[in-house]
Amino acid sequence: MKHTITVLFVAVLAMMSLEAHAQLVYEPFIPNQSSSGYSSGGYSSQPSLSVERVRTSAYFLYTDGSIGKVRLEVEISGGSGRVVGYYEPPQPLVYNATGCWKQLYPYASVRKCYAAYSANPLEREFMYKANIRGVMYYFDL
C-alpha cells in the first residue's frame, strides 16, 4: 500500500513537471523564418503570407429592388481580400446538367461595408462588399 502511494505520487510529480516544462519552453512555429530573424544570407527574411480561399453566399439588388443570390470564392491574404471566382448554376431545363466554379478576371477587391453611411439595406446587413462588373455584391466571411 505504501509502495503504491509512493509510485502514484512520483508519477503525478513527473506529469506536473513535464506539463510545466512544456508550457515554459513553447515557441510558436513560423514558416520560412529562422530563430535569429535572419536568413542564411544575412538579410531579414519575410514571413510568408498564408492565402486562404473561402466560398460564401453573396447577395445583390436587381434594378426592380428584389434580391439575388450568388456563390463567390474569396481569396484572403494578410489584411486584404479579393473575389477570384463565382459559381455558375446549371442551365434550367437541361437534363443532368451540373453547375461549375468559374474563375473571375480581373479580380474584384473586397471592401468593408459602412452601414451608418448607406441607405442600402444589404450594406446594413453584411460586413463586406465587392464591385464585380458594375454590380455590388454583399457578403460575410
Q: Are residues 60 and 119 in the same domain?
A: yes
Q: Are residues 21 and 55 in the same domain?
A: no
Q: Are residues 21 and 72 in the same domain?
A: no
Q: Are residues 58 and 94 in the same domain?
A: yes
What pLDDT, on a 0 to 100 scale, did the predictor assign at position 16? 67
Q: What is the DSSP string of 11-78?
A: HHHHHHHHHHHHHHH-----TT--TTSB-TTSSBPPPPPPEEEEEEEEEEE-TTS-EEEEEEEEEEET
> 82 near 110, Cβ under 8 Å?
yes
Q: Are residues 31 and 100 in the same domain?
A: no
Q: Which of 32, 48, 64 is the last residue of a domain?
A: 48
Q: Are residues 63 and 104 in the same domain?
A: yes
Q: Which of 48, 69, 86 is the last residue of a domain?
A: 48
pLDDT exceeds cutoff 50 at 130: yes
Q: Which of 48, 64, 84 is the last residue of a domain?
A: 48
Mean pLDDT score of the chain: 77
Q: What is the dihedral of CA 14, 28, 54, 125, to 10 degrees?
A: 90
Indicate the range of 6-20, 75-89, 104-118 predicted with least confidence: 6-20
Beta-strand relationship, 128-132 and 135-139: antiparallel
Q: Are residues 41 and 72 in the same domain?
A: no
Q: Are residues 75 and 41 in the same domain?
A: no
| pLDDT tens for each residue of 35-76 | 444 444 444 455 566 888 899 999 999 989 899 999 999 999
Tally of domains within the chain: 2
Domain that holds residue 35: 1-48
The structure's pTM equals: 0.61
